[in-house]
Copies of this chain bind each other. A is one copy, B any other.
Amino acid sequence: MTVSHQRSQEGAQQESGGAGPPAARDTGGVTALDPDIAARLKRTSDGLVPAVVQQHDTGEVLMLGWMDDEALARTLTTGRATYWSRSRQEYWVKGETSGHVQWVKEVRLDCDKDTLLVKVDQEGAACHTGDATCFDADLLPAVPGRG
C-alpha cells in the first residue's frame, strides 16, 4: 500500500507545474482511511478537515493544512504529512519538492471530530517563504488580557 501511495503522490507532484487540469479529488470513492475514523470525522462542505501542524518537541505551531479522507489515510500510513491543496486542487506531500518534509509523530482528533492535530518532526523551514513557521511574519496589534 505504501508503494502505490508513493507512486500516486509523485504523480500528483509532477502535475503541479503542468498546464493540464489538476488531479480530481475522489470524494465519492473508497479511500484507505480506517472506516471507524471516517465514520467519526466531521468535514466541511468541501469534504475537508483543518489540520493544525505542530513541531512535536518544541510545541511550535508550524502551519495549518487541510486534509480529506485520503490525505489523512496517507498521513496515518506513510509517516509523511500529506494535505489536500485547496489552491492547486491536488494532494500535496509536504516537502516533496522543497525537501522540507514533515515526519509524522502523532495525529489527534479533537472533541468535535472536526479538527486534526498533527505533531511532526519538521525538516527545514515549514513555510514556503523560508520562515520557520507560517506565523512568523505577521504579528497583529493586540491589547493583552490580564491573565
Chain A residues at the B interface, C-beta cutoff of 8 Å? 34, 37, 40, 50, 52, 54, 58-61, 63-64, 75-80, 101-113, 115, 117, 120-121, 123, 127-129, 131, 134-147
Contacts and interface: CB of A to CB of B under 8 A. Distances in A.
A146 B79 contact: yes
Nearest to A113: B138
Contacts of A106: 139, 142, 144
A50 to B, nearest CB: 5
A102 B145 CA distance: 8
B129 A111 contact: yes
Given A121-B147, A147-B120, A112 B134 contact: yes
A104 to B, nearest CB: 5
Count identical subunits in the complex. 2
A58 B60 CA distance: 10
17 contacts: A34-B141, A50-B64, A54-B59, A76-B142, A76-B143, A78-B145, A102-B147, A103-B147, A104-B142, A104-B143, A106-B142, A107-B140, A108-B136, A113-B138, A115-B134, A115-B135, A117-B135
Given A63-B110, A76-B140, A110-B135, A120 B145 contact: yes
Nearest to A55: B59
A51 to B, nearest CB: 10
Contacts of A115: 63-64, 134-135
